[in-house]
Amino acid sequence: MPFQFPGLPRAMLFSALLWGCVGTFAHAQQASGSLEKAQALRNEARSYEHGEGVRRDQAKAIQLYCESARLGDAESQYSLGWMYANGRGISRDDATAAYFFEMAAKKGHSQAQRMLRQVGDPVIKPPECLFDSDGHDIVALAAPERRKLMEMVLKLAPEYGVYPRLAMAVIRAESNFNPGAVSPKNAQGLMQLIPETAERFNVKKPFDPEQNIRGGLAYLRWLLAYFKGNVALVVAAYNAGEGAVNRYGGIPPYAETQIYVKRIRETFKLDEHPYDPAIAEPSPDLNKIASRRTM
């Protein structure tokens, strides 16, 4: 006789099992996507490190390796340690090198384990480049009543390919972490979604923290693809709308928007953010915007 859950109808049991399988498959897909992204970033970093097919740029290589290291790629963690240990593209720093070697060594990277014995003790505080996206330092310093919301952002943001630190900076600027916030223009919730944006990204309950965060993250993901990862344009568009950014060929000359962009950039300092080009076609005005910025 097959095993049964007492009191649970067969249809509900089948549904639960089905959704369990779907959830497992979704997590596997997400992990696979993160792995592929980390490998792509590592390969690009190596190209810049060695000048293979592109102009050699070790600072760019370090940035890309760090993005991959944040996704858990042991090879990138080892490469960062090697560059710090040898002063390649950055001042030599054995303690920081040891931090990255230790990250890789914990994943079983044999070369990192050997190098760790040669460079001494690691720094206690994680290197700054690891803070540019993960936002854990913000959470650690936050008031207790905000931490639950911040932990939710840390969990959800990677699902949308958005750095948690950027999402947290937007939430702070939009609502100061007040789930019940409402603006004079009827923007609602943590990420201040206007009704049109909420509908566009399938947010039924804008004052539900998780739904609101997911809607805001979906919009940020779309803007990142639309403006090809240009953080200043993405942030300006989140505040003033992508149409205004296109119309003015860059950050609109609105005092509110310019202050908003400056405020977010104080927390999120990267100029470029990875994006998924499959999410949206790029803005048709990007070339015009780029030409204005170089004038």
Domain that holds residue 50: 30-128
pLDDT in the model for residue 266: 86
Of 128, 157, 187, which residue constitutes the final position of a domain? 128
Rounded Cα gap, residues 98 and 120, in angstroms = 7
Same domain (yes/no): 98, 140: no
**Catalytic residue chosen out of the listed positions 36, 174, 196, 199:** 174
At 220-240, the pLDDT tens digits run: 999 999 999 999 999 999 999
Domain end point (choices 101, 128, 155): 128
The reply to whether 21 falls in a domain is no
Backbone phi and psi for residue 269, each to the nearest 5 degrees, phi listed first: -95, -5
Q: Is the pLDDT of residue 17 over 70?
A: no
Whether residue 252 is found in the same domain as residue 225: yes
Q: Does the residue 20 lie in any domain?
A: no
> Percentage of residues in the chain with pLDDT exceeding 70?
82
Band (pLDDT 50/70/90 cuts) for residue 131 is: low
What pTM does this model have? 0.58
Structural domains of the chain, count: 2
- Maximum CA extent, the chain: 78
- Give the pLDDT of residue 193: 97
Q: Are residues 176 and 267 in the same domain?
A: yes
Q: What is the pLDDT of residue 227?
A: 97
User: Is 242 an annotated catalytic residue?
Assistant: no
**Residue 142: Cβ within 10 Å count:** 18
**DSSP reduced 3-state for 12:** helix
Q: Are residues 153 and 263 in the same domain?
A: yes
Q: In the chain, pLDDT over 90 holds for what percent of residues?
A: 55
* Same domain, yes or no: 160 and 110: no
**Same domain flag for 120 and 150:** no
Across 243-248, average pLDDT: 96
pLDDT digits (tens, 9 = 90+) for 157-203: 888 989 888 999 999 999 999 999 999 999 999 999 999 999 999 99
Residues 168 and 274 both lie in one domain: yes
Instruction: Let me know if residue 14 belongs to a domain.
Output: no
Please say if the pLDDT value at position 38 is more than 60: yes
| Residue 234 and residue 209 share a domain | yes
Q: Where does a domain end: 128, 159, 188?
A: 128
């999120």: which residue's tokens? Answer: 268
Helix (H, G, I), strand (E, B) or coil at 267: helix
The per-residue pLDDT for 75 is 94
In a domain, 263, yes or no: yes
Residues 105 and 142 in one domain: no
Q: What is the mean pLDDT of the chain?
A: 84
In a domain, 114, yes or no: yes
Q: In this structure, what CATH number is given to the domain that contains residue 169? A: 1.10.530.10
247, 287: one domain? yes
Domain-embedded: residue 157? yes
Whichever domain contains 70, its CATH number is 1.25.40.10
- For the residues 130-153, what does the mean pLDDT come to? 72
Residue 223 lies in a domain: yes
Exposure string for 181-204, b = 16+ CB within 10 A, e = fewer: beeeeebbbbbbbeeebbeebebe
Instruction: Answer yes or no: do 63 and 154 share one domain.
Output: no
Assigned domain for 182 exists: yes
Check whether residue 46 and residue 89 sit in a common domain: yes
Residue 146 · residue 175 · CB < 8 Å: no
